[in-house]
Amino acid sequence: MRFTSPSRRALGLMAVSTIGMSTAVLGVAGIASAAPESAPSSYEVYDDDAPVVFDIPAGVCAIDWELVGADGDDGDGSTDGDVVVTTTKVQAGDSVRLTAGSAAAGGSGAWGTAAEVEIEGDLYLAAAGGDGATQNVNESMAKPSIDPDPASYYADSAVGTDYEDYASASVYASFVDCPYDVVQLNAYAGNGSIDLSFYTTAEAPVEINDPSGYEYRIDGGSWTEFEPEIDSYGGADATVPATNDVAHTVWVRTTSTAGPSAGVSTGPVTPYAPIAAPTNVTVTTTTSRVTISWTAPAGVQVTGYDVGIGYGESGDQGCAITDPSVTTCTFFARAASGVSVGVRGIDAQGRAGLYASQSGITIPGPATPASVPTQDNGDITGPAGPISTLTAGQTITLQGSGYAPNSTVQLLVYSSPVSLGTVVADQNGNFSVEVTVPANLANGTHHLVATGVDAQGNVRNLVITVTVSGGVATLATTGFDAVPVAVGGALVMLVGGGLLVGARRRTNA
């Protein structure tokens, strides 16, 4: 059971809840700066054009090349030049020179001019010109392609290829971008390690510049391959070794057939040995309320405690205690089963220690009154104010206030209680929820009830009287019946601050 998880952001892909437990910020996300916008994404030169010279821009890892040698003349007619088609890795900043050339004049018996690529002044690729009547004066130079599809192509003659009708030399260079970097990179201090969290894609690579692997480096060290755990949303987690009590900067980059990405970095992260966990942890619950008590860890200096609650893959902070003499905490939380509650100490440097926790805890929700309860101060209202009439099958937003922050509130309609679902009050004790009035509700007078607990843990009921129309003609006595609310496929749709989303910090009362 994890109480604290790396921070993630969906970036339009998903929404993953995080557990807001610790007040200590252990790492800062690094964000890669965008590669400079280059001018053209390709260059080409034909015939007797002047050579084209350019520098390979940042963010380019490879180039798709197409070279066609100019036609020659063997005395009996024109001859095709060679063809070189390949993809090779290149280095940003290198200077490239493209030279085409020209075909031999008819009846001249001359060789066609080779199409050539030079990088940093050295011949890199060449497609020889067509044969002449004299001794061979140029040769082709091809390199294996890094792209298996299409494979590199080299021919002594362009006959039978797409290039057979070319009359003169040409060189075409098309940039292949480096793979994109990971995003939302965060780093968290461990004990002799650093925990990394980031977003990427879990899809298999298709293009040669799609990310196919990951590498990290610490400070100025060498790049090291690693395999993060990637979930179905593209969120990735990994742990890398590091030295305790030393501030480290971690870089992460993606790799591909075309080459690596630029890489992104974290802020300084300092691993450390955490203090021991508290002992003798006990947890008790009442309606939407949790009380946890513990004994301070022996032999260590504690400046406070961090209490958290976990609901599987999501969670929240229960208490942030700054008085080390306080070893109990009571807080409100949404009703659920299979809950984990834990506590850890904070050392003299403000760093979190090890957790002590209990799991499998049930936090009960509000009980359903057998009959319409007594009205407490306040009313259930709609966005436009008081509600007095309803139509069976109608979808309506109900609002209320005065409940314990983060506690569960149940919505009911009477004569016999029928559940309209539940909602979680926000940090101010307010709720707003969209529900659907049962279509089979009897016409006539009914009561809407919102039942939960107030900030002191006492039962709180809001009650209003409404007149229902459009339902069945006779009031049915069906007993309790939980009615699904068809909103987005879920029981209810919570509006505003209804759900526990993200980390909320509370102080111990």
What is the DSSP code string of 245-279?
A: TS-B-EEEEEE-SS-----EE---B----PPPPPE
Determine the pLDDT at residue 172: 95
Question: Any alpha helices (H) in 289-333, and if so which ranges?
Answer: none
Determine the pLDDT at residue 39: 63
Question: CB burial class (10 A; 0-12, 13-18, 19+) of residue 93?
Answer: exposed
Q: How confident is the model at residue 160 (pLDDT cuts 50, 70, 90)?
A: very low
Determine the pLDDT at residue 103: 82
What is the mean predicted confidence (pLDDT) over 198-226?
91
Q: How confident is the model at residue 298 (pLDDT cuts 50, 70, 90)?
A: very high
Q: Phi/psi zone of residue 133: left (φ > 0), alpha (ψ -120 to 50 degrees), beta?
A: alpha
Q: From CA 64, how far away is CA 205, in angstroms rounded?
A: 18
Taking 50 as the threshold, does the pLDDT of residue 2 lie above it? Answer: no
Determine the pLDDT at residue 456: 96
Q: List the beta bridge partners of residue 290.
A: 285, 331
The CA-based dihedral angle spanning residues 101, 105, 109, 110, taken in that order and rounded to the nearest 10 degrees: -20
Convert the pLDDT of each residue in 4-38 to its tens digit.
Answer: 333 322 222 222 223 333 333 333 333 334 444 54
Convert the pLDDT of each residue in 180-211 to its tens digit.
Answer: 999 999 999 999 999 999 998 767 788 899 99
Handedness of CA 485, 488, 491, 497 (dihedral sign): negative
Determine the pLDDT at residue 354: 96
Taking 60 as the threshold, does the pLDDT of residue 355 lie above it? Answer: yes
Phi, psi of 330 (to 5 degrees): -125, 130
Q: From CA 437, how far away is CA 359, in angstroms rounded?
A: 37
Determine the pLDDT at residue 78: 78
Q: What percent of the chain has pLDDT over 90?
A: 66
Which residue is it, tokens 């004994």?
295
The whole-angstrom distance between residue 115's C-alpha and the CA centroid of its chain comes to 47
β 459-469/389-391 pair status = parallel
208-to-148, 211, 258 alpha-carbon distances in Å = 9, 8, 6
| pLDDT, greater one: 165 or 377 | 377
Give me the chain's average pLDDT, please: 84
Determine the pLDDT at residue 168: 67
Determine the pLDDT at residue 380: 98
Taking 50 as the threshold, does the pLDDT of residue 414 lie above it? Answer: yes
Taking 80 as the threshold, does the pLDDT of residue 278 lie above it? Answer: yes
Q: How confident is the model at residue 321 (pLDDT cuts 50, 70, 90)?
A: very high
Taking 50 as the threshold, does the pLDDT of residue 508 lie above it? Answer: no
Using alpha carbons, select from 45, 137, 147, 144 the residue that is nearest to residue 96: 45
| pLDDT, greater one: 233 or 323 | 323
Domains of the chain: 1-35+178-273 (2.60.40.10), 42-177 (no CATH), 279-363 (2.60.40.10), 381-494 (2.60.40.10)
Taking 80 as the threshold, does the pLDDT of residue 88 lie above it? Answer: yes
Taking 90 as the threshold, does the pLDDT of residue 473 lie above it? Answer: no
Determine the pLDDT at residue 314: 84
Listed range (197-211, 355-369, 421-435, 465-479) with the worst mean pLDDT: 465-479
pTM of the model: 0.65
Q: From CA 113, how far away is CA 91, in angstroms rounded?
A: 28
Within 367-458, strands assigned E span 381-382, 385-386, 389-391, 395-400, 408-414, 418-424, 431-436, 444-453
What is the mean predicted confidence (pLDDT) over 366-389?
96
Determine the pLDDT at residue 150: 55
Determine the pLDDT at residue 301: 93
Q: Phi/psi zone of residue 476: left (φ > 0), alpha (ψ -120 to 50 degrees), beta?
A: beta
Question: Any alpha helices (H) in 375-482, and if so which ranges?
Answer: none
Q: From CA 98, how far away is CA 47, in angstroms rounded?
A: 11
- Burial readout 255-281 (b: 16 or more C-beta within 10 A, e: otherwise): bbbbbbbbbbbbeebbbbebbbbbeeb
Specify whether the CB–CB gap between 52 and 44 falls below 8 A. Answer: yes
